[in-house]
Amino acid sequence: MNTKILDILLIFPSGGDVYHTNFNHHLGTAYIVAYLREHGFLTEQFISNKPYNIKECVKTILQYKPKVIGFSVYESNFMQSVLISNCLKESNPKCIIIFGGPTPTVQSEQILKSISSVDICVRQEGEETILKILTELASVNFNLKQVDLLEIKGITFRDKDRIIINPDCNVLYMNRDIKNYIDRYPSPYISNIIPISKAFPTGIITARGCNQNCTYCNCAVLSKKNIYFHSIERVIGELSLISKLKKFSQPIPIYDDTFTIIPSRTKRICKAIIESDIKIPLLCITRCDKLDEELLDLMKLAGFVSIGFSLESAVPRVLRAIGKVRSVDVGDTLNYEKEIEFIQKLKYMTHYAKKIGMFPVFVSIMIGLPGETPQDAKKTLNLINQLEIDYYTHNILHIFKGTPLYKNHRRYGYKLTPMGYNNQIILRNNFPFNIDEIGLAKKSTKERNSKVMDYNILNILSLKCNQSNNKSFFNNIIINQDVIEPSLVKWMQQVLAINGIIVHIYSNKDIFLKLHTKNEMTLYNEYSPTNVYECYYWENSGNIKRLISGRMLSYGEEAGLSISLRNTNLVLEEYYKGYDTDFFIGVDRNKTDTDSFLKLLHVISKSEDSFNYLLERNVLPQFQSLCRWTMNQANCEDMETAIIENDNTVRICWYSEPLGKVGMSFFDIKRNLTERKRNTIKRRRCHQCEQKNLCQKCIFPFPLSAKEYCEYKITQKTNESANLINTFYVLKDFLYKPINPYDF
Amino acid sequence: MSIEADEVKKKSNKKRLDKFFGKDKANAIIECLEDCVNQGKTGSELKECVKECLMTQKGFDERSADDSVTIMAFITVG
């Protein structure tokens, strides 16, 4: 922890997938840190791998004692940024808060109107503008009221009740004739802001901006269709430093909007890499019409092991409508010759990249583009199925404010609505046709990512504990009611981890279809601390109750799992027969279930080598009651997951009675639980029991009575076998959570 | 349906690990897991222990799920 008082702390809250509960390195933010430090300001980026809720996060941030706090804000991390910002301002009203990044660049006025904790929005490139703000602030002892903000270009700010939008800074544009002007911004790696060990996945850039005409994209909008290049010497200097790492687990991404936009420059970079004998595996995404075999061969020699191409659509008319190949305003709008060529080139270049041994070669597409019909979208998927690629990314069009498409969206039949009165920043897009009918092609990343998510959900529903240690919030919340009220979201802001997982279980498919959109909008309108919102609905089939992933309705069977809940006794019968029980959860509904589970524990403990016994058998199902037979591995101790029922009561265990209500603090719920446990232990006289140090002392042992539970615990030694079963879920993790993205 | 369903149905933990990682890596994972269990590790500590063991004793790279999803997010946005 830095003990000095910081001039500015920059924060990039990661925005919302299950693995990102932390604050990672961010290239754009690191550039600003490096530049400000060079000018003598005490600057840090907030980096942390720990999970936090909003309050704990703010507490940690304030330990840096920053005078100014800056956020890098995208739509994906907008809610988290606002919640942290609001809480910071509440805790320290003197702290000056700045929002910068893509979303404030195009929505600065709306942000300042609706988010009172934000003082200033910085638009476009941040280096010069933030330097100017800090210089002015430092001259008046960081008293914002004394700064003449009207003099600072590139910002939007609040002056009493008015929002003032100053002219753009345009520093890069004004200096466009100075060769490699952006070299004046120090390298985040050479300045030691980002350790080289984090070059993956943080990556590098060799240029900023894009000059292409894609109507849906905000890269060209943000750079006003200009590209600013680093010198080749600078690129080589940065790569040389990174190459000292020697061992690379993954290729280092080059995050240029289009790395090969000027093929001759790309060639020079590749030749310089080869001449400098730099050995780094590299990756980039580019346009197929901006490279040829010769360049790809050279890139391969220079270390590019992987390449991605953006296709968007395989229909020439659609490519023409989005300006992918050439501006929509240029030439005969009904002539698709160049678009046909583009598609042919993509087919050839993906083939060629595979031929020369690149791996993985991937393509990105977008569904719901202007003028696209369901048949057009299916044509794109058909082409994907024919390509020699390792995977593809299946994106759904999101219309960003500020893009040419945003201005013309009505012409194409889109209906954009803000998520709600409180959140006008994030827009929901209604498409002219039902994009959910399209499904996925083969090798979709969505399919694999969905499976990883479903596997996590399986663990959560079984109330597995992964990250204990005296926390003051839940990592996951299971909503077992159909409607999400605003009060529930407000409560989650207090008790749920930033980017924690919300699992919503609907009563049935019809209710899911009826209420899902409204609930999702409530989460956005009230500012949920997480975007990770996974929906399931119940489906009954004979004696098996299944939880069906809502994703399967959108993307078909491949994009989700049905998780089956069945009596433990019946699940184990299938397990013994050698059937696949990976996605079953065994539920104890009667004593036979409990007996059958204890029999499994007995078999394991009696086997000659328990470890090998489990190793050589099928992957085990999950069990909802496993924790009671273990020691120190129960949700009632770690409180990782809360279950919210229809009447807004909160439970910690599927078998427990309510321990609180939505609205109560985490500590009050914990206190109720502790009290309950203390009373149970007292009533059962656990302190007199010889098993007292080996017993989980389950307070909700249904279907057993307390007496039966005690008898079982005394007569049967369960801990070792039960803990071993938990151990084997680690193997399951290895199987289902890919540790190499290229397994996708 | 289930993950990688058809190909790996009715196979043991060991066989599935072999299939996903190859025999050598699968054996390394199992050895580390057994070591860590013998050290009395459980829960999140167990997972950390296995990861550490794979990296320090078995020469594995730090190919974490975090990284994989980060790059997937990059690719998706791109």
- SS3 per-residue string spanning A544-591: EEEEEECHHHHHCHHHCCEEEEEEHHHHHHHHHHCCCCCCEEEECCCH
Count the Cβ atoms, other than its own, within 10 Å of residue A279. Answer: 12
Which residues share a beta bridge with A159? Answer: A162
Separation between Cα atoms, residue A444 and residue A333, nearest integer Å: 32
The CA-based angle A564-A562-A647, given to 5 degrees, is 70
Q: How far is the alpha carbon of A399 from chain B, nearest alpha carbon, in Å?
A: 13
Q: Which of B16, B63, B74 has its CB closest to that of A249?
A: B63
Q: Are A12 and A45 in contact (CB under 8 A)?
A: yes
State the distance between the two ends of chain A, measured CA to CA, in whole angstroms. Answer: 38
Backbone angles phi, psi at A489, to 5 degrees: -65, -45
CB-based contact B29 A465, cutoff 8 Å: no
State whether residue A615 sits within 8 Å of chain B by CB: yes
pLDDT band of B2, cuts 50, 70, 90:
very low
Sequence-separated (6 or more) residues with CB below 8 Å from residue A239 = A204, A273, A276, A278, A280
In the beta sheet, which residues pair with residue A567?
A: A587
Please judge whether B72 and A20 are an interchain contact, meaning their C-beta atoms are less than 8 angstroms apart. Answer: no
Give residue B44's pLDDT. 74
User: Which positions in chain A touch B44 (Cβ < 8 Å)?
Assistant: 465-468
Question: Would the CB atoms of A285 and B37 count as touching at under 8 Å?
Answer: no
With an 8 Å Cβ cutoff, are B43 and A728 in contact? no
Rg (CA), chain B: 15
Across the interface, whether the CB atoms of B65 and A19 are under 8 A apart is answered yes
Note whether B48 contacts A: Cβ–Cβ < 8 A.
no
DSSP string, B63-77: --HHHHHHHHHHHHH
User: Which residue among A582, A618, A738 places its CB closest to the CB of B65?
Assistant: A738
Q: How far apart are the first and last CA of chain B?
A: 31
Q: Give residues 714 to 733 of A whose Cβ lies within 8 Å of B.
A: 723-724, 726-728, 730-733
- List, in sequence order, every beta strand (DSSP E) within A287-378: 304-312, 361-367
Interface check for B9 against chain A (CB to CB < 8 A): the answer is yes
pLDDT at A469: 61
Asked if A609 has any chain B CB less than 8 Å from its own CB, the reply is no
In chain A, the residue whose alpha carbon lies closest to the alpha carbon of B18 is A735
Comparison of pLDDT for A462 and B67, the residue scoring more: A462
Give the C-alpha separation, A152 to A144, whole Å: 13
Q: For A57-125, what is the HEC assignment? A: HHHHHHCCCCCEEEEECCCCCHHHHHHHHHHHHHHCCCCEEEEECHHHHHHHHHHHHHCCCCCEEECCC
Which H or E run contains A706? helix A706-715
Give the neighbor-by-neighbor strand order of the sheet with A361-367. A252-254, A282-286, A304-312, A361-367, A391-396
Contacting residues for A601 by C-beta, under 8 A, at least 6 apart: A629, A716, A718, A721, A722, A725
Greatest Cα pair distance, chain A, in angstroms, is 90
Whether A245 has its CB under 8 Å from any CB of chain B: the answer is no
Report which of A339, A343, A344, A347 is spatially closest to residue A321, judged by C-alpha positions: A339
Using CA atoms, how far apart are residues A240 and A408, in angstroms rounded to an integer? Answer: 46
CB contact under 8 A, A201 and B70: yes
Average confidence (pLDDT) over B6-16: 68
Instruction: Nearest by CB to A741, from B9, B47, B68: name it.
Output: B68
Q: Residue A623 CA to chain centroid, in angstroms?
A: 28
**What pLDDT sits at residue A467?**
58
**Sole residue written with tokens 């680093």:** A230
Check residue A743 and report its DSSP letter. G
- β-pairing, A282-286 vs A207-208, is unpaired
| Percent of chain A clearing pLDDT 70 (strictly above) | 97
H helices of A387-441, in order, are: 404-407
Q: What is the longest distance spanned by two Cα atoms in chain B?
A: 45
Q: Let me know: does A110 contact A103? Beta carbons within 8 Å.
A: no
- Inform me whether the C-beta atom of residue A199 falls under 8 Å from chain B C-beta atoms: no
SS3 for A171-218, per residue? HHHHCCCCCCHHHHCCCCCCCCCCCHHHHHHHCECCEECCCCCCCCCC
Contact A314, A370 (CB under 8 A): no
* DSSP-assigned letters across all residues of A114-165: H-TT--EEE-S--HHHHHHHHHHHHHTTT-GGGS-GGG-TTEEEEETTEEEE
Mean pLDDT along residues B47-58: 82
Within 8 A of B42 by CB-CB distance, chain A residues are: 632-633, 723, 726-727
Task: Name every chain A residue with its beta carbon within 8 A of the beta carbon of B71.
Answer: 200-201, 250, 253, 741
Contact B20 A723 (CB under 8 A): no
Query: Which has the minimum average pLDDT: A677-681, B17-21, B34-38?
Result: B17-21
Cα angle, residue A460 at apex, residues A200 and B46 outer, rounded to 5° = 60
Pairing of strands A162-165, A155-159: antiparallel
Distance CA B73, CA A26 (A): 13
8 Å CB contact of A739 and B64: yes
Residue A531 near residue A16 (C-beta atoms within 8 A): yes
| Cα separation, B62 vs B78, whole angstroms | 24
- Rounded to 5 degrees, what are φ and ψ at A43? -135, 140
pLDDT band at B40 (very low <50, low <70, confident <90, very high): confident
Choice between A442 and B76, residue whose per-residue pLDDT is larger: A442
User: Helix, strand or coil for residue B53?
Assistant: helix
- Radius of gyration in angstroms for the set of CA atoms belonging to chain A, rounded to a whole number: 28
* Contact with chain B for residue A614, Cβ under 8 A: yes
pLDDT of residue A4: 72
Partners of A505 in beta bridges: A536
pLDDT, residue A14, reads: 83
In sequence order, the β-bridge partners of residue A586 are: A566, A623
CA dist A521 and A527 (Å) reads 10
Please give the Cα distance from A270 to A284 (Å, whole number).
13
Residue A690 burial (CB count, 10 A): 8
Q: Do B30 and A615 touch (CB under 8 A)?
A: yes
At A1 the pLDDT is 52
The residues, any chain, with a CB within 8 Å of residue A193's CB and separated by 6 or more, are: A30, A33, A34, A37, A45
- Tokens 């009611």 correspond to what residue? A481
- Torsion angle of C-alpha atoms A297, A303, A306, A307, degrees rounded to 10: -50
Q: Which residues from B are below 8 Å from A248, CB to CB?
A: 61
Instruction: Extract the residue ranges of chain A whose pLDDT is less than 70.
Output: 1-3, 16-21, 467-470, 737-744
pLDDT for the residue A643:
97
Q: Given an 8 Å threshold on Cβ–Cβ distance, is B63 in contact with A614?
A: no
Contact B73 A17 (CB under 8 A): yes
Residues of B (12-41) whose Cβ lies below 8 Å from A: 12-14, 16-17, 20-21, 29-30, 33-34, 37
